[in-house]
Chain A
Amino acid sequence: MPTLETKNLTHIFPDGTIAIQNISLQVKPGEFLIIAGANGSGKTVLIRHLNGLFTPTKGTVLLDGKAITANIVEARKKIGLVFQDSDSQIVGQTVAEDVAFGPENLKLPPHEIDTITKRVLEITNLTALSTQNPHVLSGGQKRKLAIAGVLAMRPEIILFDEPFTGLDYPGVISILKQIINLHKTGHTIILVTHELEKVLAHADRLAILHKGQLMEIGTPKEVILHSKHYGIRMPLKNNEEIHLMTWLE
């Protein structure tokens, strides 16, 4: 049974622009799915639907077989979203305060919030920065903090919207390691990107969005060959194996 599913998901903006159209996809528990597409292909709109932030014009999003709108708080607890712009996601005055924001919303008791915050800061290697003002962190550290804020909600599924945008090489490596560790610890990962070369080697499946429609979905090996038709750079050289493309040592 899929953990997350969309059925004929369509979103039309008030001005008539069709952002996504009839998207039906299924995500299995523990899967690592990449959704790729050129700018304006509808990736961000789709990922926000998966978190219940947008109301579909048509179609539904199902979590464990039930519409996510049935219990939106429970759905958002289970499905964490890491936004593309980390600055927009950070609301705390210190790193620790920002991590605690989600558990406070879930009305957890203070001692539990404290324990979760400490554990998440440790997992994301941010303990040393816990009293820092998030505004002065580097791009990579801010992205880590955004991930920490989501992890504090203890989600089963984590959505990443363009997680490598604006990061330098060490920043990409650090975030990539974090994502792979989360996948290894059993989280379902759905990652939206157009920079396939950075992460494709670690994915189970690849989906391609083009002008709001789901054009291809399958194993990276099957789908990647058609990527250039949809404005996505082919990340492989001739006959190169996908798993050798990893940025990690």
Chain B
Amino acid sequence: MAGITFFHYIHKNTILHKMDCRLKLLCLILLSLSAGFATKWLHYFVIICIITLAIIIARLPIAALLKDMKFFAIIILIVFISNAFTIPGEQIPNFPISNVSIQGITAGLRFAGRLIIILMICTAITGTTSLMALKNAIEWLLRPIPFIPEVRIATIINLTFVLIPLIFDNYVEIISAQKSRCIQLNKNPIRRIRLITLPLLSQSLRRADEIAYAMESRCYSETRSSYIHKTNKIDWIILGTCLMILIFALFL
């Protein structure tokens, strides 16, 4: 878990790290819409250039991110191939494989482009936003909605992210302990799954119980100090840029 850079917060002191998370979430929405409405190659080129620039400004480790991209490369490839083969249209002259149309390849490239853009936006947002800031922004955005326990939802999101690496560590520990006792010789897959799932579940529940006690011990309640959100001129300029990109993708 610790070795993966994708979708992980990386602490730096840049304008994007300091940006108000509420506006950052609005930027996420605007850029995602821009990717959805993009029709020309120029649109894709401009959006990718802007997000790449954001990643450079945020000083995120581009080489490590590209390496982690391989996890998503297969999905992007599947999207491209399925589009290329299923969308009917003009055949490519002298191309050895039939059923591949020019329109299919174009649509495949567009879908792949959109996926890449969304992955890049998420990387830029998660890499520059701590979970606590994200939690506070979600809490703020949910506050006006009636009957929604915004503090509880935000705490659940926070605790989920705290527990995921711990559960993953537990899983690795259980697998290693079972391998050391030759679990691989047991050919029954259902029994093997059961032998891993039950201790993992029991340990995770015990851990959740302990976390609940620890939070109670530190006086946790749903009425806590509220976070003061601050915006500055640069934050609004970044939001304005994202809005311009959406207008560009929609009308130009």
- Residue of A whose beta carbon sits closest to that of B135: A93
Given contacts A53-B213, A53-B217, A85-B210, contact A94 B11 (CB under 8 A): yes
Report chain B residues within 8 Å CB of A73: 219, 221
Shortest beta-carbon distance from A49 to chain B in Å: 12
* In the bound complex, CA of A107 to CA of B207 (Å): 27
Contact partner, A83, options B2, B162, B210, B225, Cβ 8 Å: B210
Do A101 and B218 touch (CB < 8 A)?
Answer: yes
Contact between chains at A110 and B216 (CB < 8 Å): no
Asked whether A104 lies within 8 Å of B162 as measured between CB atoms, the reply is: no
Q: Chain B residues near A149: list those with CB within 8 A.
A: 218
Q: Shortest beta-carbon distance, B150 to chain A, in Å? A: 15
Interface size on B, residues (CB 8 A): 30
Knowing A90-B162, A135-B2, the reply to whether A105 touches B214 (Cβ < 8 A) is no
**Do A150 and B218 touch across chains, with their CB atoms under 8 A apart?**
yes
B217 touches A76 (CB 8 A): yes
Among A48, A106, A110, A133, chain B packs the most CB atoms within 10 A around the CB of A133
For A130, the closest partner residue in chain B by CB is B11
**A236 contacts the other chain (Cβ, under 8 Å)?**
no
Q: Is the CB of B227 within 8 A of A110?
A: yes
A131 within 8 A of B: yes
Jot down 17 A-B pairs with beta carbons below 8 A, ordered by A: A83-B214, A83-B217, A85-B210, A88-B211, A91-B159, A93-B131, A93-B162, A94-B132, A105-B225, A107-B223, A110-B225, A110-B227, A110-B228, A133-B2, A135-B2, A135-B166, A153-B218
In chain A, positions 121-159 with a C-beta closer than 8 Å to chain B are 131-133, 135-136, 149-150, 153
- Which residues of A in the span 106-126 have a Cβ within 8 Å of any Cβ on B? 106-110, 113
Measured in the bound complex, the distance between the Cα atoms of B219 and A73 in whole Å is 6
Choice from B131, B132, B159, B225 contacting A113 with Cβ under 8 Å: B225
- CA A85 – CA B169 in complex, angstroms? 14
> Does A87 make an interface contact (CB < 8 A)?
yes
Q: Select from chain A the residue with minimum beta-carbon distance to B214.
A: A89
By a CB distance below 8 angstroms, the chain B residues around A110 are 225, 227-228
Q: Which residues of A contact B159 (CB under 8 A)?
A: 91
Option from A77, A94, A101, A105 in Cβ contact (under 8 Å) with B130: A94
Q: Does A97 have its Cβ within 8 Å of any Cβ on chain B?
A: yes
User: Are B162 and A91 in touch, CB under 8 angstroms?
Assistant: yes
Chain B 114-153 interface mask (CB, 8 Å, partner A; 1/0): 0000000000000000111000000000000000000000
Q: Counting CB contacts under 8 A, is B9 at the interface?
A: yes
Q: Is the CB of A88 within 8 A of B217?
A: no
> Of B11, B132, B221, which is within 8 A of A105 by CB?
B221
Q: Smallest Cβ distance from A98 to chain B, in angstroms?
A: 10
Least distance between B155 CB and chain A CB atoms (Å): 9
Nearest chain A residue, comparing its CB with the CB of B221:
A105
